Amino acid sequence: MGLALHTTRQDGRATIAARGSIDLHSSDELRSRLTELVDAGERAVVVDLTAVDFCDSSGLNVLVRAYKHARAQNATLTVTGAYGRVENVLRTTGLDRFLIEGPAEEAPADGR
């Protein structure tokens, strides 16, 4: 499965809802979208990973670089909705300490 991205803006935040897998083949699309939002002046960017079933090192690299880019522009970038394998990789690498927004999310009722 590829990666689908949907951006919404509400309450001063831009949220990118990702669906599918973030890997070597799809991470450039996410990187471009995140960079565009921050460069366009968004001050709070949220990446919703609720519907992401896989994230490899290239996806983690995109999230870290986007986080650093946002901070350099006096913006914030946070992740929400990570659970299962995706939450585990964020926690294992320590990225959860600065990327995850709020308390850990529970898995959706449909068991993903």
Predicted confidence band of residue 1 (pLDDT cuts 50, 70, 90): low
Residue 103 has pLDDT above 90, yes or no: no
Contact 84, 107 (CB under 8 A): yes
Contact 38, 77 (CB under 8 A): yes
Residue 74 has pLDDT above 70, yes or no: yes
Neighbour-count burial of 41, counting CB atoms closer than 10 A to its CB (0-12 exposed, 13-18 middle, 19+ buried): exposed
Question: What value, to the nearest 5°, has the Cα angle with vertex 109 and ends 53 and 10?
Answer: 75
What pLDDT, on a 0 to 100 scale, did the predictor assign at position 102?
Answer: 61
Q: Which domains does the chain have, with CATH numbers?
A: 3-100 (3.30.750.24)
